[in-house]
Structure 1
Amino acid sequence: MLRGLGGGTFAALGLGGLGRAATWGATASPLLWQRDVVYGEISGQPLLLDIASPPPRGTPRPAVILIHPGGLVAGDRSFLADHVPLFAGAGYVAVNIAYRLFSEQDGTNPWPAQLDDAQRAVRWVRANAGTLGVDPTRIGAFGHSSGALLAAHLGTRETRDDPGADVGADVGADLGDHSSRVTCVVDVAGKMDLTLASQDAAMTPRTVALLGGTVDSPPEHAVLGDFSPVTWVDGETVPFLILHGTGDTLCPIAQSRRMVTALQEAGREIVAAEFPTLNHYTILDWAVIGPETLAFLGRHLHPEESWGVGVAVR
């Protein structure tokens, strides 16, 4: 049995392999791909995203922003590439984003550069909603690990900065009029609370460096609070789905449990489940989390139709 985080319960879901995006759906679908789309530029560095869309229709579709893991110091869009057609095949415009990574060598791109980019991506999608065929009022976020941390921030706080004209729609228009808050969040094994990190080993040396600290001079509590989505939960926080494996040794499951508690105490909608034996990476098995993920997104984003997903041509 699966025990829901925070006391809820779920029926057990079948286990299986993720495969190459060819097992979810019965027929091949004519997904439309746009790759390496520039959604901003910072100091000459383009910020890129990939988009997979179902066939055009007369009414706009909801969108899902996918945010890759890597501790905010590594990783790229390829990590969630197999998930992109799974969301597009379910009727969503799937947007797989890259963001600036912190350099442990020279200290460039410290926090909150990654948050700024994730928020910018959401605003870019809203600014270009007409062209993309997206309903700007129906945008969800899906993230794994550190990507889940960024996704959680998109559901708990508004835009941190206003970069203005240099990173707008078409990399030239102002994004200031567009919100970065999403409609709902799917958090898969994310670190949510670094304010009590010493209790569960969630703090790593590279996270200390990312936040401007050192071994001898750790980040200040206020910085840890800014980094932790749990501290931003309030009455405006959007609905959350939180998924975590009990076999996760990289991100302690206590992180998700604390986020569940914060959401419950704020009276916000929370659906959560713990999966026995799954670890930090096997938790991404779509045969396990796909049904609950799509059910949750469907309740809040209403895709209205889906397309069978066959082999995605990249």
Structure 2
Amino acid sequence: MTISFNKLRAQSEVIPLWTTIPNNIETFEEQSIEQGDILKISKIKKPTLEIYAPSKRNATDKAILICPGGGYTTLAYDWEGTEIAKWFNSKGITAFVLKYRLPNSKSLKTPHKAPLQDTQRAIRWVRFNADKFGINPAKIGVIGFSAGGHLAATLGTQYNSKNNFKEEPLDSISARPDFMALIYPVITMKNNYTHIGSRNQLLGKKPTQALIEQYSNELQVTINTPPTFLVHASNDSTVPVENSLQFYKSLNDKKVKVEMHIYPYGGHGFSLAINQEGYLHTWLDRLDDWLKTI
């Protein structure tokens, strides 16, 4: 089913992320939008930010960049993107949903670099425009789900990765998030606990050991990694809970503030967990509590 993306998103502002898109090859590839139970977007050539602002009377000075998941193959754009943005708005937080380029696109020169390039650019754009949205530039975080959690963790640990394209003044702004929330995230690219589909899409089926280590974010934690909130389900059969456990240990070892909530049930991809049995939906209450402490 083909539908108009702009028509679907008419209630919010969508802005292009780049003036000149780096790491780009001109092709006839077209963006794909599939509307089922979840709005899925793939073959993204022009990354964007969709802006959700709370009412002025409820607004705080915090902001969040949202990275939907989808195994680096597609984006679960409403399930782990716009629905999440609305929840943040209910807490007075300005939310920016990132439609980032996926490494399976034919329009990329170096596929594995594109998602991080877009995420760095996104947080820089938000920080540059902080005054416009009433945001404190030192209170801008990132949240990611599944493969989007891997991307958020990559930003949090490798925010100062150098670019190999001609930079604009915007690209000199810090891309470090001030806090991270990682929800059932892919963390490692190592064989033991990785989500092999995400690894294959990001790094290819035969990645070098150097690439595996570079994108195994449990190995990239430093004392400058931002405070982190982790959520996972023990019975996640898609992305093993050891991903969060390993990242927690790395953060704790470096004395980075970290809070983790492991739920017994929930599987993978539960988003807001509204229709889940038990108390899984309370992860949002725990996130709300945590956000008030940082």
Compared CA separation, residues 206 and 51, structure 1 to 2 (3 A): closer
RMSD: 2.6
| 1:284 CA displacement | 3.7
CA distance in 2, matches of 1:76, 1:46: 17
Partner residue of 1:124?
125
Partner residue of 2:183?
188
CA distance in 2, matches of 1:162, 1:221: 22
Letter in 2 for 1:204: I
| 1:162 CA displacement | 3.9
CA distance in 2, matches of 1:66, 1:251: 19
**Does the Cα contact within 8 Å between 1:164 and 1:176 map onto a contact in 2?**
no
Partner residue of 2:202?
210
Where does structure 1 lack aligned partners over 5 or more consecutive residues? Answer: 1-31, 167-172, 301-314
Compared CA separation, residues 34 and 106, structure 1 to 2 (3 A): closer
Q: Structure 1 residue 34 and structure 2 residue 35: aligned? A: no
Compared CA separation, residues 222 and 63, structure 1 to 2 (3 A): same
| 1:281 CA displacement | 1.9
Larger radius of gyration: 1
Partner residue of 1:231?
219
1:202-240: CA deviation from partner (whole Å, max 9, x where unpaired): 24256235314x3xxx21121011112111101111111
Partner residue of 2:71?
71
CA distance in 2, matches of 1:107, 1:137: 32
CA distance in 1, matches of 2:110, 2:272: 27
Letter in 2 for 1:291: D
Shifted more, 74-83 versus 180-189: the winner is 74-83
1:16-71: CA deviation from partner (whole Å, max 9, x where unpaired): xxxxxxxxxxxxxxxx95332112152474321111112337x9721011110011
CA distance in 1, matches of 2:85, 2:288: 13
| 1:278 CA displacement | 1.0
**Does the Cα contact within 8 Å between 2:74 and 2:102 map onto a contact in 1?**
yes
Compared CA separation, residues 113 and 104, structure 1 to 2 (3 A): closer
User: What is the TM-score of this pair, normalised by structure 2?
Assistant: 0.79
1:75-94: CA deviation from partner (whole Å, max 9, x where unpaired): 15323221111101101111
Alignment of 1:98-137 (within 5 A): 98-103=99-104, 110-137=111-138
Say which of 229, 237, 244 aligns to 1:249.
237
Compared CA separation, residues 105 and 131, structure 1 to 2 (3 A): closer
- Give the total of aligned pairs: 256
**Does the Cα contact within 8 Å between 2:248 and 2:258 map onto a contact in 1?**
yes
**Does the Cα contact within 8 Å between 1:245 and 1:283 map onto a contact in 2?**
no
Partner residue of 1:293?
287
Q: What is the percentage of aligned positions where both structures have the same residue?
A: 24
| 1:131 CA displacement | 1.8
What is the DSSP-based 3-state SS (H/G/I as helix, E as strand, rest coil) of the residue aligned with 2:243?
A: helix
Compared CA separation, residues 279 and 268, structure 1 to 2 (3 A): same
Shifted more, 277-286 versus 114-123: the winner is 277-286
| 1:100 CA displacement | 0.3
What is the DSSP-based 3-state SS (H/G/I as helix, E as strand, rest coil) of the residue aligned with 1:238?
A: coil
Alignment of 1:37-52 (within 5 A): 37-40=15-18, 41-42=20-21, 43=24, 45-52=45-52
Partner residue of 1:23?
none
Compared CA separation, residues 209 and 148, structure 1 to 2 (3 A): closer
What is the DSSP-based 3-state SS (H/G/I as helix, E as strand, rest coil) of the residue aligned with 2:75?
A: coil
What is the DSSP-based 3-state SS (H/G/I as helix, E as strand, rest coil) of the residue aligned with 1:274?
A: strand
**Does the Cα contact within 8 Å between 2:17 and 2:118 map onto a contact in 1?**
no
**Does the Cα contact within 8 Å between 2:108 and 2:114 map onto a contact in 1?**
no
1:174-213: CA deviation from partner (whole Å, max 9, x where unpaired): 2133111111111111111223x2x23x24256235314x
Partner residue of 1:21?
none
Compared CA separation, residues 220 and 109, structure 1 to 2 (3 A): closer
Letter in 2 for 1:83: I
Q: Structure 1 residue 276 and structure 2 residue 252: aligned? A: no
Letter in 2 for 1:75: L
Compared CA separation, residues 143 and 280, structure 1 to 2 (3 A): same
1:229-278: CA deviation from partner (whole Å, max 9, x where unpaired): 11110111111111000121110111111111111111111100110111
**Does the Cα contact within 8 Å between 2:186 and 2:195 map onto a contact in 1?**
no
Compared CA separation, residues 152 and 206, structure 1 to 2 (3 A): closer
CA distance in 2, matches of 1:257, 1:266: 14
Ranked by relative contact order (alpha carbons within 8 Å, sequence separation 6 or more), the top structure is 1
Compared CA separation, residues 37 and 76, structure 1 to 2 (3 A): farther
Compared CA separation, residues 93 and 106, structure 1 to 2 (3 A): closer
Compared CA separation, residues 106 and 204, structure 1 to 2 (3 A): farther
Where does structure 2 lack aligned partners over 5 or more consecutive residues? Answer: 1-9, 27-44, 275-280
